[in-house]
Amino acid sequence: MSDPIQKLALNQRQQSQSLEQEKDHWLTVSDLMAGLMVVFLFIAVALMRDAMVERDKIKQVAIAYRDNQLAIYQALQEEFGPNLATWNAEIDKDTLTFIFNSSEILFSEGATELSPSYQTLLDNFFPRYMRVLERFSDSISEVRIEGHTSSIWNENTSDTEAYFLNMELSQERTRSVLDYVYQLPSVVPYRSWIKGHIAAVGYSSSHPILNRFGQEDLDRSRRVTFRVMTNAETRIQQILDVN
C-alpha cells in the first residue's frame, strides 16, 4: 500500500514543481514584455516631443515669412503706389510680383530690344526698386525678372512651334532687361548683389492671363514681371536637414 501512496505523492510534488516553474517562466516573460512596452513608450514620447519642437520651429518660420512678406509688399506700395496707374503696373501681394502690363511700351512686337519708353521707365523704377529691396536683403533668396508671352506667334505656326519661339523671345527679352538695368550708373553699388540674386527667366506662354470667360487675354499675357523670392523655404529645409 505504501508504494502506490508514495508514488502518488511523488507525482503530485513533481506536478506542483512543474506548475511553479511554468508560473515563474510566464512571470519572467510578462515582466520582460512590460519593460519593453515602457521603453517603447519612452521612445514614442521622445519622438512626439521632437516632432512638436520641429513643428513649432517651422511655424515660427512661417509666421516670420508672412510678416516679412507683408513688410516687403507695404514697402513697395509705399514707394511705387503713386506710379502704378501711370505705368499700368500692379503689385501682387501674395507673390511679391511687380507686374508691368503695357506690353506695347515694353518691346516692339517680336523684338527683344527695349523700347525708348521702357528704358525711361526702368531708369526710374529699378534704382528705387533696389533701394527698397536692400532693406530686406537678408531675407531675399532671389529676384526673378520673368518674361511672359501670349500663346500665339502667327497663323502659319503650330502650337508647339509657337511655344518654343515664344520661349526664346521671352528669354531674350528678360536678358535684355537684366543687361540694361545692370548697366545703369545708379545701380553700380548693387552689382555684386545683382549677380548673386537676380535671374532672368523666360516662361513663354506657360502662365497666360485669362479673362472672366476663361479665355486667354492676349495683351495682358504679354508682360514682364519682377518677382521677389524670400528664403523661408530654404530655412525650413535647413531645419529638416539638421534632423
Q: What CATH homologous superfamily does 59-240 map to?
A: OmpA-like domain (3.30.1330.60)
Q: Report how far Cα 178 is from the mean position of its chain's Cα atoms.
A: 23
Question: Per-residue b/e over 44-62, b at no fewer than 16 CB within 10 Å?
Answer: eeeeeeeeeeeeebeeebe
Q: How far apart (Å, rounded) are the C-alpha atoms in residues 75 and 57?
A: 27
Among 2-11, 52-61, 102-111, 188-197, top mean pLDDT goes to: 188-197
Q: Considering only CA atoms, which of 96, 113, 126, 239 is closest in space to residue 193?
A: 126
Cell numbers placing 215:
479665355
CA Rg value for the chain: 35
Is the Cα dihedral 213, 167, 128, 87 positive or negative?
A: negative
The model carries a pTM of 0.70
Q: How far apart (Å, rounded) are the C-alpha atoms in residues 117 and 105?
A: 6
Tens of pLDDT, residues 177-229: 999 999 999 999 999 999 999 999 999 888 888 888 888 888 788 888 999 99
Least confident of 96-110, 111-125, 186-200: 96-110
Provide the pLDDT confidence category of residue 1 given band limits of 50, 70 and 90. very low
Looking at the predicted structure, is the pLDDT value of residue 242 above 90? no
Least confident of 128-132, 140-144, 153-157: 153-157
